[in-house]
Structure 1
Amino acid sequence: MAKPKRNPNSEELANKIIEKYQPESVEDMQNALKDIFGPMFESMLKGEMNHHLGYEANDKGEKETENRRNGYGKKTIKTSTGEVDIKVPRDRDGSYNPELIPKRQKDVSAIESKVISMYARGMSQRDISSTIEDIYGFSVSHEMVSDITDQVLPELEEWQTRPLSSCYAFVFVDCMYTTIRNQYETKKYAVYTILGYTIEGNKEILGLWLNETESKHKWMQIFDEIKARGVEDIFFLSMDGVSGLEEGSRAIFPDVIVQRCMVHLIRNSVKYVPSKDYKAFTKALKKVYGAPSLKACLSAFESFQQQWAAYQGAIDVWTRNFHHVEQLYDYGSSIRKVMYTTNAVESIHSSFRKVTKKGAFPNENALLKVLFLRVKELETKWEGGHIQNWAMVMNQLLLHENLKERALKYLE
């Protein structure tokens, strides 16, 4: 990339500033710039007034308007280098409305975008206020931070109710818990997240929902909602095993293939295994759900049961859910690699935790604002990128007898 050319007058201007102010530190240079801002603003405002009246300040000739200049009003504005006192020109009939700094505007620092950016990164209102004061030299109240971040609420509401794609090849559901402060007590709230992979291979967070607990009834309400927002078909739904979720999802999307997450099954089973055997136990399990064929999977499971017979509780977890392991082998290896775990949505929750670890939120909107801002950052990263190995996933979908017709319906 070519280096941008510097304005040839900038060096001359810099030398004049240095000669005038003789700065000896970065702070001295910032103060010099701050000192210059006032006259710059005033000069530009005077230019606006000349244009508004149609004549220069010292013009002695005949004028087309009866309106005249009427002195100056004082105003303190907030800039990126701190507060600056300026004089704003006035006219007699009060018809002059400054465009550079409109009436009642006192902040020209673009602080709103900075506050929202800090809020999106999980900074508390107290930390944001302190940071703004340290850097810019003026204070921002907690109420102002809240008012600024409330600007995202209409966009959040629009995003939460937007129409969705007709078909999602894969959907991953999961909950995480965070804390909301309700008057004098704090409560844990479940954040419901749905991540979808479209038929074109794009990632999309379908929405965020809050509830005091995770339950199949809430999940059914959510599935009902996304259907009302345009979702007609879901091929695969990967979940962590919430009781009743499998039946509930099929009540809304009858043809969905529900897959238990292998990683969650591992977590459930290692509860019955001493820590000294974790590594060997999980290595043996990987040979089961990661086998190249169903025959190899069944053989590996038989060996697994014999090897770890002493830990019957762990074996029972896999015996009760083994139909979910067998189901994986109804599909090609590329499809299996996508559907066998909910890690994709858990990764999103890991990102959410980075911005919710600051403590309890004062209300639901405060929590949803910070989560939505993080979603926007994630979606920006995903733009233009497809799921890894998506071409092979689609080839295997189109080779599967029960999925081909459904897939072609949405590819046309």
Structure 2
Amino acid sequence: MTQLQFNLNMDLLKDSVMNSNIDAVVKSTIVLVLNEYMEQERDEYLQAEAYERNVNRRDYRNGYYERDLVMSIGKINLRVPRTRNGDFAPSVFERYARVDQAFVLSMLEMVVNGVSTRKVTNVVEQLCGEQVSKSFVSSLTEKLDPIVRQWANRPLNVQYYAYIFVDAMYIKVREHDKVVSKAVYIATGINQAQKREVIGFKVDHKESYEAWREFFTELKSRGLQSPKLVISDAHEGLKKAIGKEFIGTSWQRCTVHFKRNIIDKLPKKGMEEVIVNLKRIFDAVKEEDARLFRDEFFKSYEENPKLEKALETLDEGFEEAIQYLSQPEKWHRLIHSTNSLERLNQEVRRRERVIRIFPNTQSAYRLIGAVLMDYDEAQAKKRTIFMKK
């Protein structure tokens, strides 16, 4: 590798040391070194000193231009030498390009992890010594688009997902000069490595049968096979779409939601024993035990008119709420409810709460996709879902 030797302007460096704080000293020193280094690189490229005439000269000096360089100490301004034909390129910027990339990725990481755009601009101001606009930070996040899109459309036929969890949450999006509510569909599955994985998500206008069916159709087009169970709440459009798109798949009604629905039908006071006996039904390990506890529950309370609506609700949804008992016992605690997916929704909500209103649907898709990718990466590092954290 070529060795370049050069002299620094020590008077200028001394002035920086005596009259500035340590941050300014470090920056001034680096600016002096890099400016001189680029000057010597140009001399070597030209193969001629200033005003020197020789047969080996490749080009002529053509002044300087200023260019910023982002480094770990912040942003510095360099005096870049140039040549008349423009072929000379100093190595400094190529060498430190990874620092620029790391800086951009750091800002993206802040946005994805729920730091507001305003706070990000403040951090950048502290690092670089100057303010950047919110639009600049927002434009950086657009770099996520192709990454999220590629991940969201990855093939699903390389794995079999025996158990799939689906749910929808609502967000606020600005559209056509007004704020509207939109549904975010999220599907997770347990793969063959016994790890949770996000298998799909979508931002749509509302939660409906047509929207759920379209979502499932997209998953199938990516290679998703019919699972053993789909676990969800009891949204009518969702139930209908599951039955239509996944032939031979059982629907598992989330027992947490189901018990909550039953309890809401109970009187507000004096129901402690009733609630304990209700929970006993869904704590059963075997299907026959759950049926036995259900029958005993009816016998104990069927004469109480105050419990009529609760008993009707239990009777109507019981079969769909015990489908998990047909699966191996080790899976029961994992597939009887959508709790795992709701915890993921809370993580999305934590980031979304910082933004409050997305400027458009694409920005919502981008951020939510990045959060889900982050979740997927964390899940992939775990050994299996049966291992303690």
> Same fold judged by TM-score > 0.5?
yes
- Residue range with higher mean Cα deviation, 283-292 or 146-155: 283-292
**Structure 2 residue corresponding to 1:137, chosen from 125, 129, 144:** 129
- 8 Å contact from structure 2 (residues 16, 28) kept in 1: no
**Structure 1 residue corresponding to 2:385, chosen from 384, 388, 394:** 388
Pick closer, same or farther for the CA change 1:269–1:51 going to 2, 3 Å: farther
Shift of 1:243: 0.4
Show CA shifts across 1:105-135 (max 9, x none): 9x94843112211110122323322332134
Match of 1:241 in 2: 234
- 8 Å contact from structure 1 (residues 195, 204) kept in 2: yes
Shift of 1:84: 2.9
Match of 1:111 in 2: 103
The 3-state SS of whatever aligns with 2:364 is helix
**Structure 2 residue corresponding to 1:46, chosen from 39, 45, 53:** 39
Match of 2:313 in 1: 317
Match of 1:396 in 2: none
In 2, Cα distance between the equivalents of 1:169 and 1:388?
14
- 8 Å contact from structure 2 (residues 212, 237) kept in 1: no
Computed over aligned residues only, the root mean square deviation of the Cα atoms, in angstroms, reads: 3.0
Shift of 1:377: 1.4
Match of 1:188 in 2: 181
Show CA shifts across 1:220-240 (max 9, x none): 111111111112331111011
In 2, Cα distance between the equivalents of 1:197 and 1:293?
22
In 1, Cα distance between the equivalents of 2:271 and 2:342?
22
Show CA shifts across 1:66-91 (max 9, x none): 41333333344454444433211122
In 1, Cα distance between the equivalents of 2:275 and 2:229?
25
The 3-state SS of whatever aligns with 2:183 is strand
Pick closer, same or farther for the CA change 1:76–1:233 going to 2, 3 Å: closer
What does 1:221-232 correspond to in 2, within 5 Å? 221-232=214-225
Answer yes or no: is 1:98 the counterpart of 2:90. Answer: yes
Shift of 1:199: 2.6
**Structure 1 residue corresponding to 2:376, chosen from 375, 379, 386:** 379
Show CA shifts across 1:237-271 (max 9, x none): 10111104334223222111111010111222222
**Structure 1 residue corresponding to 2:329, chosen from 330, 333, 340:** 333
Shift of 1:297: 1.9
Answer yes or no: is 1:162 the counterpart of 2:137. Answer: no
Answer yes or no: is 1:64 the counterpart of 2:56. Answer: yes
Aligned AA (1:64): N
Q: Normalised by the size of structure 1, how large is the TM-score?
A: 0.80
**Structure 2 residue corresponding to 1:291, chosen from 264, 284, 289:** 284
- 8 Å contact from structure 2 (residues 258, 321) kept in 1: no
Q: Give % identity.
A: 22
Aligned AA (1:236): L
The 3-state SS of whatever aligns with 2:92 is coil
Pick closer, same or farther for the CA change 1:89–1:252 going to 2, 3 Å: same
Shift of 1:277: 5.4
- 8 Å contact from structure 2 (residues 31, 76) kept in 1: yes
**Structure 2 residue corresponding to 1:197, chosen from 190, 194, 214:** 190
- Residue range with higher mean Cα deviation, 304-313 or 261-270: 304-313
In 2, Cα distance between the equivalents of 1:205 and 1:299?
37
- 8 Å contact from structure 1 (residues 197, 203) kept in 2: yes
Match of 2:115 in 1: 123
Q: Normalised by the size of structure 2, how large is the TM-score?
A: 0.84
- 8 Å contact from structure 1 (residues 80, 109) kept in 2: no
Match of 1:89 in 2: 81
Match of 1:12 in 2: none
Aligned AA (1:363): N
Shift of 1:294: 2.9
- 8 Å contact from structure 2 (residues 251, 323) kept in 1: no
Show CA shifts across 1:144-180 (max 9, x none): 1122111111122222222113521110000111111
Aligned AA (2:87): S
- 8 Å contact from structure 1 (residues 164, 206) kept in 2: yes
Shift of 1:190: 0.8
Q: Which runs of no fewer than 5 residues in structure 2 stay unpaired?
A: 1-12
- 8 Å contact from structure 2 (residues 167, 341) kept in 1: yes
Pick closer, same or farther for the CA change 1:302–1:127 going to 2, 3 Å: same
**Structure 2 residue corresponding to 1:21, chosen from 14, 17, 42:** 17
- 8 Å contact from structure 1 (residues 216, 242) kept in 2: no
- 8 Å contact from structure 1 (residues 74, 87) kept in 2: yes
In the alignment of these two chains, the number of paired residues is 367
**Structure 2 residue corresponding to 1:366, chosen from 340, 355, 363:** 363
- Residue range with higher mean Cα deviation, 348-357 or 116-125: 116-125
Answer yes or no: is 1:342 the counterpart of 2:338. Answer: yes
Answer yes or no: is 1:149 the counterpart of 2:137. Answer: no
